[in-house]
Chain A
Amino acid sequence: MTQVLDHPVKPAPLATGAERTARRRAVLEWIAVHSLGVAAALFFTLPFVFVFLTSLMSDSQALSRDLIPHTWEWDNYRKVFDTPGFLTWWKNTLLYAGLGTVLTVVSSIPVAYALAKFRFRGRNLSLMLVISMMMLPPQVVVIPMYLFWAKQLDLSGTLWPLIVPMAFGDAFSVFLLRQFLMTIPNEYLDAAKVDGCGDLRTLLRVVLPMARPGIAAVALFQFFYAWNDYFGPQIYASENPGAWTLSYGLESFKGAHHTDWNLTMAATVLVMAPVILVFFFAQKAFVEGVTLTGVKG
């Protein structure tokens, strides 16, 4: 039992009275810590549980105060998929998140590499600008950006105003990747140079394979960013339901179904589920990214 303490009490050959009290205290502490842990786990999981249970209730029961479904209406999920537009929103979200992620990763890698490994004048200034861009709310520049995309290029009602900028380096991804590339020792780069590799070859053949965890973290954050984005689609796609994403369309469920919390909650589960599934497959890369930058995506 002493193992469970954070500072284990050394086992003694003969248990004296003092050691017995110490051991009893250790057991009590174990119980206290784990009870708190269970209480916290309930706080973090019960909302998911209630949402899931409600998503399986019948229409009439969803209006009641019962917590457990009387009948399990799995059909609710089919109804959600049958809602006009729902599959289109899935498709749009996958396009925005998928293509956006690929573009972000490809365009951010060379920038992060230059910021991490090249010596040049203005490097610190560039890095400070990257951090500043990362910290700015998107609303700061949205008015001219909207006028640019909508009035000059006539692209409102599509997701392109959100996807195209991702081909030009995303500040957060550049910063996270740069932090990761800093941890790669310069000896590897020097060795590649001695072997006659140019900068591009060094990046592709030596650095990228070593940076895989960092790239995975960036890709995940970017995917989640696009999946979760509400403001972007609201600005550029709201006028055209054919271009809505899941995060934007989800809200209209509550409107269309009024008080049908069961269908709204089923749709909510369907928007949450992919993110959580992706997380389970890539947990390590994700947590690494959080600790590397300390900033959420």
Chain B
Amino acid sequence: MSAVTLASKRRRSALRTLAFMSPWLIGFAVFFAYPLISTVYFSFMHYDGFRPPTWSGGKNWTYVFEHYPLFWPALRNTLWLVVVMVSLRVLFGLGVGLLITRIKTATGVFRTLFYLPYLAPPVASTMAFAFLLNPGTGPVNSLLEKAGLPAPGWFNDPTWSKPALTLLALWGVGDLMVIFMAALLDVPTEQYEAAELDGASAWQRFRYVTLPNISPIVMFAVVTGVIQTMQYYTQPLVAGKVASGVIQGAGTQFEPGYPDKSTLTLPQLVYNLGFQRFDYGSACVVALVLFALSMAFTALLMRRRGGLIQAGD
């Protein structure tokens, strides 16, 4: 093959790739790269959306970290959610996954019932839980009181609002259940049989056969759980709004985090700073903090060889 045809063939194949990739390349440039660079730019500008932006140096950064009253509570809540909500969700998902692989009667029915809550639209499921857990007439507190147990204030009480959100997250554990179910069914049965021959107890079989086999999936579930926590927005916001009784619509300003900043998360700060306080510069600072945190955990997800998401082949 002559050099000329080889070169033209290469060019054709490059054009072909470009053509197929073009929707995403445009999308990447217009809806990701450009706004990301813009976010960095605006984080150094004072901009309220009306007067033209002016250079403000590091003022937005010092404002967010030192004076903005919602930043540190939101970060503390995020840490709480990562430690408590993510780990409980992984444990519960693994438990339900183990349970479903052992259920041999009407498995399909059980699986569907366990999975359905995950599908419920977040606004709808949050409204449902705000009703179920409302301290006045909610069915949960009615049942707790009938059983002679203390009835917490749930979404209306700063110490109980995050546990209530955790309960909602555990209810929607279906995605993890399916992933763990698939992983558990992939564990080679010979290993169980060998362990049984050696006289291993049920716990020993789980500890020395099941767990090593599914550990990459556990790791995957933890890291994606942390990444999802960085995006945790709708549930805490809607729960706070409904519990506080704020009426939605023009002219109402909802200070997020009800009760007492206990349901604040980082994405809510972007909304609060940008769209309620019209301080676009500081909103971009929080956006960049969110970017850095999400990227750090995504890198963790991609760097682990074997098991987690594999970028290359």
B23 touches A107 (CB 8 A): yes
B110 touches A140 (CB 8 A): no
B75 interface residue per 8 A CB criterion: no
A142 touches B17 (CB 8 A): no
CA distance A196 to B250 in the complex (A): 61
How far in angstroms is the closest Cβ of chain A from B72? 18
A51-B131, A114-B17 known; A141-B302 Cβ under 8 A: no
B31 touches A132 (CB 8 A): no
How far in angstroms is the closest Cβ of chain A from B154? 13
A15 interface residue per 8 A CB criterion: no
Q: How many residues of B contact A (CB 8 A)?
A: 106
Q: Residue A146 contacts which of B24, B122, B123, B274 (CB distance < 8 angstroms)? A: B274
Residue numbers of A with Cβ under 8 A of B are 3-7, 30, 33-34, 36-37, 40-41, 43-45, 47-48, 50-51, 54, 62-65, 67, 107-108, 110-111, 113-115, 118, 120, 124, 126-133, 135-148, 151, 165, 167-169, 174, 199, 224, 227-228, 230-231, 234-235, 239, 241, 246-248, 250-252, 254-256, 261, 264-265, 268, 271-272, 275-276, 279, 283, 287, 290-291, 294-296
How far in angstroms is the closest Cβ of chain B from A186? 12
A252-B249, A255-B247 known; A139-B270 Cβ under 8 A: yes
What residues of chain B lie closer than 8 Å to A144, measured between beta carbons?
34-35, 38-39, 42
B16 interface residue per 8 A CB criterion: yes
CA distance A228 to B127 in the complex (A): 13
A168 touches B103 (CB 8 A): no
B42 touches A251 (CB 8 A): no
Can you list 21 contacts pairing A with B, beta carbon distance less than 8 Å? A37-B110, A41-B114, A44-B171, A45-B113, A51-B132, A54-B131, A62-B137, A110-B21, A118-B17, A133-B32, A139-B287, A141-B287, A144-B38, A165-B27, A228-B234, A230-B123, A235-B271, A251-B238, A272-B120, A272-B124, A275-B121
A6-B102, A36-B99, A271-B123 known; A256-B35 Cβ under 8 A: no
Which of B61-69, B79-87, B158-166, B290-298 touches A? B290-298
A51 touches B270 (CB 8 A): no
Q: Residue B242 contacts which of A37, A107, A254 (CB distance < 8 angstroms)? A: A254
A65-B137, A168-B30 known; A136-B294 Cβ under 8 A: yes
